[in-house]
A and B are shown apart, each in its own frame.
Chain A
Amino acid sequence: MQSTDLYIRPELGQGTRRLPLQALLLAAGLVALAAAPFLLYPVFVMKLLCFALFASAFNLLLGYVGLLSFGHAAFFGGAAYVTAHSVKVWGIDPVAGILLGTLAAAVMGAAMGAIAIRRQGIYFAMTTLALSQMIYFLFLRAPFTNAEDGIQNVPRGHAFGLIDLSQTLNMYGLVVAVFLIGMFAIWRVINSPYGQVLKALRENETRAVSLGYRADRYKLGAFVFSAAIAGLAGATKALVFQIATLTDVAWQMSGEVILMSLLGGVGTLAGPSVGAGLIVTIQNYFATTGFPVNVVLGLLFILCVLCFRSGIVGEIAKRARR
């Protein structure tokens, strides 16, 4: 393996010193989340949170295990379909629908991961891309997805049969809860002994294997977890927009989530959310101009790869450390 400066290596033992700053940032973030629906268009904030969680789930794989998945749209969009169908056609509770979508994404992740982890690096990326394209075609043909039309007019329903989600603020509360639970789960995994083994695999797989860790099991576990969280984000998005379409499973979506992570900072906890916020804002802006947003995204990709590979949060962290 050649140089792998794709990741920012957090220096050990500095966590305790920075704790007050982190706690401060966390508190500021919570306040911002509480204030956001009154300052911004709530649906926009909910979209942003869904993509932030999606990008964070993707970043768990790239930033902490060193696996570049080019097929995460399959989990995001796949879960959206399952949730939309189960809530609309079967009429189950929206929260149960989200959980079912998440479960479906985890199952897809297990199947796709079992095949993809057999190759590494560049081959892993191509394999996940090809497998997700296969899933795309399956959803295109599946009887319940209505092909190009997608599943439309999904009712938001009542969470736990009580809370009316058609009220924007109630829906916003659910999205924030999902986001916080998802982010906490990711943070917990990264800072667990399991997460330490994942980082060891990223740094030097041969050595980790020689110490007795079964690399494939760890990688598969991380892949399934990442797929499940991506699914959680997709399932929630399906309820927010009340629609599940092919856009969410297409390879362009997989590309977008990579860019979000890269732009914000691969291997940082907050980076993907920052990147997601920027990309969603840019997309919203260019949607009104008629200029293809893909050109802008492509230029950002080129800029990120050539000029600042650590991303925004990564660069800030680097400067702060000096």
Chain B
Amino acid sequence: MTELFGIPMPVLSGQILLGLFNGAFYALLSLGLAVIFGLLRVINFAHGALYMMGAFIAFLLGQWLGLPFWALLVVAPILVGVFAVAMEKLLLRHVYGLDPLYGLLLTFGVALVIEGMAQYMFGVAGKPFSQPQALSGVSMIGGMILPHYRVFVIVVALITCLGTWALIERTRLGAFLRAATENRPLVEAFGVNVPVLLTATYAFSALLAGFAGVMGAPVFQVSAFMGSNLIIIVFAVVVIGGMGSIGGAIASGFLLGLCEGLTKVVYPEAANIVVFAIMAVVLFFRPSGLFGKAA
């Protein structure tokens, strides 16, 4: 078979792969947003900035210390996580219990500061970042072109997402976390240190964003505003999926990436807006989102 609905198979499979690749980033970021919102009741507008930060830290460490990609993939997200600990302790802590809109505005301000500083220090032009040698190859399987790096990102993102899901839904720590989401004072009464749990949750989600940033660096150029456009799409993904479930956030991330990829094949002009259009349709028929509980 070389064609499907009049579209050549290699083009179709290429866009499916690209869609899943973009979906991997949507999933990693919307997962983080959902986890943070679940426990902290804060919409983290700074998530895109943290993603950008991961990419920039990787870029700088690669330049200064010549660290290999694999080391950067570990070190840069940890540094983003450390930054997130400071941010949670110094700023976010003060808006817990207020209207969630304040959390959104506060993190929006933080995002403006981080992005503005990155722009000030590194300029507007994107920085090149080469992908690891070991993954620069391309395979052909049955007429499908598979760039190794993209396949690697999809697989790693999927494993990370599923791992996080298992951590939250299947472990004792996750049980504390879910319990604290439902009834915080009660969990505190059982002797769980909830403030530490909140900090750890925020830092972990930020770490995921930083991790996504390092993985995105070789493909999307490293620039100050690489995160801000992404975060708006991720918001739409979150609205579509509903923030009630971790699994929903992961699934809708990959699904919408796929939709976007397929739109590029059928009607390229609409690729930028298809996620938003889907969001409008979903809101119209299912206001609480595809996987959300009715509000």
- Decide if A and B are genuine partners: yes
Chain A residues proximal to chain B, CB less than 8 Å = 1-6, 68, 115-116, 118-123, 125-127, 129-131, 133-134, 137-138, 141, 251, 255, 258, 262, 291-295, 297-302, 304-306, 309
A251, B225: Cα distance in complex, Å: 12
B104 touches A298 (CB 8 A): no
Residues of A within 8 A of B102 (CB): 6, 305, 309
B110 touches A119 (CB 8 A): no
CB contact between B43 and one of A122, A292, A306 (< 8 Å): that residue: A122
B119 touches A292 (CB 8 A): yes
A1, B97: Cα distance in complex, Å: 10
6 pairs across A/B with beta carbons < 8 Å? A130-B279, A134-B273, A134-B277, A137-B273, A258-B105, A294-B116
Count of chain B residues with a beta carbon within 8 Å of a chain A beta carbon: 45
CB contact between A298 and one of B99, B109, B272 (< 8 Å): that residue: B109
A133, B232: Cα distance in complex, Å: 8
Residues of B within 8 A of A122 (CB): 37, 43, 100-101, 104
Report if A294-B279 is in contact (Cβ < 8 Å); known contacts: A122-B43, A251-B232, A305-B106.
no
A294, B124: Cα distance in complex, Å: 14
B239 touches A127 (CB 8 A): yes
B276 touches A294 (CB 8 A): no
B236 touches A118 (CB 8 A): no
B276 touches A3 (CB 8 A): no
A6 touches B101 (CB 8 A): yes
Within 8 A of A (CB), among B215-249: 228, 232-233, 235-236, 238-239
* B104 CB, min distance to chain A CBs, angstroms: 6
A262, B232: Cα distance in complex, Å: 22
A118 touches B284 (CB 8 A): yes
Report if A302-B239 is in contact (Cβ < 8 Å); known contacts: A129-B232, A134-B273.
no
B269 touches A129 (CB 8 A): no
Residues of A within 8 A of B228 (CB): 251
Q: Does B111 contact A (CB under 8 A)?
A: yes
A298 touches B112 (CB 8 A): yes
Q: C-beta contact mask, B258-295 vs A, less than 8 Å → 1, else 0?
A: 00000000000100110111011001100100000001
Residues of B within 8 A of A305 (CB): 95, 102, 105-106, 109
* A220 CB, min distance to chain B CBs, angstroms: 14
Residues of B within 8 A of A4 (CB): 99
A2 touches B97 (CB 8 A): yes
Residues of B within 8 A of A5 (CB): 98-99
B279 touches A127 (CB 8 A): yes
Which chain B residue shows the least CB distance to A120?
B295
CB contact between B113 and one of A2, A125, A130, A302 (< 8 Å): that residue: A302
Residues of B within 8 A of A293 (CB): 116
CB contact between B276 and one of A119, A133, A298 (< 8 Å): that residue: A133
Residues of A within 8 A of B279 (CB): 127, 130-131
A306, B95: Cα distance in complex, Å: 7
B239 touches A294 (CB 8 A): no
B101 touches A121 (CB 8 A): yes
* A298 CB, min distance to chain B CBs, angstroms: 3
Within 8 A of A (CB), among B86-135: 91, 94-95, 97-102, 104-106, 108-117, 119-120
B273 touches A302 (CB 8 A): no
Q: C-beta contact mask, B163-185 vs A, less than 8 Å → 1, else 0?
A: 00000000000000000000000
A118, B106: Cα distance in complex, Å: 25
Residues of A within 8 A of B101 (CB): 6, 68, 121-122, 125
Rank and list the top 3 A-B pairs by shortest CB-CB distance, nearest first: A301-B109, A298-B112, A298-B113
A130 touches B236 (CB 8 A): yes
Report if A297-B283 is in contact (Cβ < 8 Å); known contacts: A122-B100, A291-B120.
no
A301 touches B106 (CB 8 A): yes
CB contact between A126 and one of B239, B280, B284 (< 8 Å): that residue: B239
A298 touches B235 (CB 8 A): no
